Amino acid sequence: MKKIILLALVSLVTSCISTKSTIQNINDKALMPKVVGDHFEIKQMANDGKYGFHQDYPINLGFYKTEASNLNNVKRFFNGITAANGEKLSYKKIDTCCPYPSKNNAVGVGTLEIYEVWIDGKTDKWLLYINLTDKGDVLCPKGFLPKK
């Protein structure tokens, strides 16, 4: 009976994970951006409007071995960009989604975090997908500017 329950549990968990990653912008050779104070020095703008805004093109911040270690990279990333007119951005994590296979996680699975981003006092909000398991080139998403 225990074996049946265990088999059912393993089957349920693995059925929720895609067998092939759909993430298009993982780059195992990417270097972590230079840290200046409390932010990343982001020098390049994304050419693709999907970068950060679509689950297949997340902002890949997995430069350390564990997701917990990469949480500081979320703060560094958001501190490294501003709104289109230079306004400071606010953000909060609202969800976790999109499990995918990853060799960079002890359990073989990565997930994406969804962050809501806004300018204080404004009604516009954006959703950005962030990957803390794998790394990639860190760019400034379209509609935002690198911090000067």
Residue 4: predicted pLDDT: 52
pLDDT at 53 over 80: yes
Could you give the 3-state DSSP secondary structure of residue 126?
strand
Banded pLDDT at 22 (limits 50, 70, 90):
very high
**pLDDT, tens digit, 9 for 90 and up, residues 104-137:** 988 999 999 999 999 988 999 999 999 999 999 9
Question: What are the structure tokens assigned to 97, written together?
Answer: 């989604």
pLDDT at 7 over 60: no
pTM: 0.86
